[in-house]
Homo-oligomer: A and B are copies of this chain.
């Protein structure tokens, strides 16, 4: 996506540097820094510390990690190669894209024993995944924009007000984003949109990343606390909620950033449609019970305890509660399918039910 004069993606393989390059998303919006990943350890660090984050991007990062794993494992040593790939898959548990991306690239190298062959094949396959994810998002935008257009048609005046949680933008994907793709498409089509951006504690991906993305694209937006969405919906100030997901079951239960469930409840209570945008790579087809089956990552409590930001141009990390007070940091929650109005996928829009999902993706349910 365009940022100033640059055409940027959150990840790419830089042939000149012979390394994976990523935007270090921890430093946005105040600094735009590109970092290099040269080893599996670099890859693990980048995913764990959330230099990269968002389900599709984690999947692509895992995919490129296999290139680095192949280089590190060396020729022949299939076991070492396998173990390095497994190490990457284990870093974050909730997003299904990570293991999906790693597995797909690893399998593409099956039967190859020469390091160079593995690297070349892995690089090609990871690149294909990246392009597919970009295309998935483009198509999500194409389908999703119809929902925004319908909402605009129903309004007598003013912009379509869309509430989003966390960052399901191009920074979380490759291009367009998932939840943001219909927003960018609507803006490009001349539909008047305004986005309520949940700041999304603890790591403030909404305030830091989504606001930055939308601002760079010239889309009207307002940052709010995670507490505010219900009040806005009670007062008719939200026309739709539009979020991404880290893993969605074949029955339509949606794991996403912690707090998504609360917004879905408020949407239901106020008759506001609640849409979830996802590429099919984020489905975990065989799961039937999101609450029972999707592992919810618990991250370092210091992410709750400390907040990072800028004062007089200098980065600080400040303590909020008493230093003795325990904190807990659940990173995701599960929104039951009954609260989800529609899923927006690269193949089209469907209800959040096994039947509806199966109609769009019949080949995934044949087993």
> For residue A321, which residues in chain B have a CB less than 8 angstroms away from its CB?
29, 199, 204, 207-208, 211-212, 223
Q: Check if A322 sits within 8 Å of B215, measured CB to CB.
A: yes
Q: Check if A230 sits within 8 Å of B211, measured CB to CB.
A: no
A235-265 interface bits toward B, Cβ cutoff 8 Å, 1 = contact, 0 = none: 1000000000000000000000111011101
> For residue A263, which residues in chain B have a CB less than 8 angstroms away from its CB?
262
Q: Check if A322 sits within 8 Å of B225, measured CB to CB.
A: no
Which chain A residues (277-309) contact chain B, with CB distance < 8 Å? Answer: 291, 296, 304-309
Task: Give the shortest distance, in Å, between A24 (CB) and chain B (any CB).
Answer: 16
A175: Cβ under 8 A from any B Cβ: no
Task: Give the shortest distance, in Å, between A202 (CB) and chain B (any CB).
Answer: 5
A114: Cβ under 8 A from any B Cβ: no
> For residue A202, which residues in chain B have a CB less than 8 angstroms away from its CB?
225
- Alpha-carbon distance between A200 and B225 when the two chains are bound, in angstroms: 9
> For residue A259, which residues in chain B have a CB less than 8 angstroms away from its CB?
225-228, 230
- Alpha-carbon distance between A228 and B227 when the two chains are bound, in angstroms: 11
- Alpha-carbon distance between A321 and B207 when the two chains are bound, in angstroms: 5
A217: Cβ under 8 A from any B Cβ: no
Of the candidate stretches A14-22, A80-88, A324-332, the one touching chain B is A324-332
Given A223-B325, A227-B200, A259-B225, do A309 and B304 touch, yes or no (CB 8 Å)? no
Of the candidate stretches A71-79, A312-320, A354-362, the one touching chain B is A312-320
A234: Cβ under 8 A from any B Cβ: yes
- Contacting residue for A258 out of B212, B225, B319, CB 8 A: B225
Which chain A residues (160-185) contact chain B, with CB distance < 8 Å? Answer: none
A232: Cβ under 8 A from any B Cβ: yes
- Contacting residue for A304 out of B223, B269, B334, CB 8 A: B223
> For residue A296, which residues in chain B have a CB less than 8 angstroms away from its CB?
231
Point out which of A227, A229, A316 has the most chain B C-beta atoms below 10 A from its C-beta: A227
Q: Check if B311 sits within 8 Å of A309, measured CB to CB.
A: no
Q: Check if B226 sits within 8 Å of A225, measured CB to CB.
A: yes
- Alpha-carbon distance between A329 and B199 when the two chains are bound, in angstroms: 12
Task: Give the shortest distance, in Å, between A138 (CB) and chain B (any CB).
Answer: 25
A183-196 interface bits toward B, Cβ cutoff 8 Å, 1 = contact, 0 = none: 00000000000000
Known contacts A212-B322, A309-B319; 13 additional CB pairs below 8 A are A30-B319, A199-B201, A201-B226, A202-B225, A204-B321, A212-B325, A223-B305, A225-B226, A231-B258, A231-B334, A262-B262, A262-B266, A307-B309
Closest 6 CB pairs of A and B: A227-B259, A309-B318, A231-B333, A207-B321, A265-B265, A211-B325
Residues of A that sit less than 8 Å from B by CB: 29-30, 197, 199-202, 204, 207-208, 211-212, 215, 221-232, 234-235, 257-259, 261-263, 265-266, 269, 291, 296, 304-311, 316-322, 324-330, 332-334
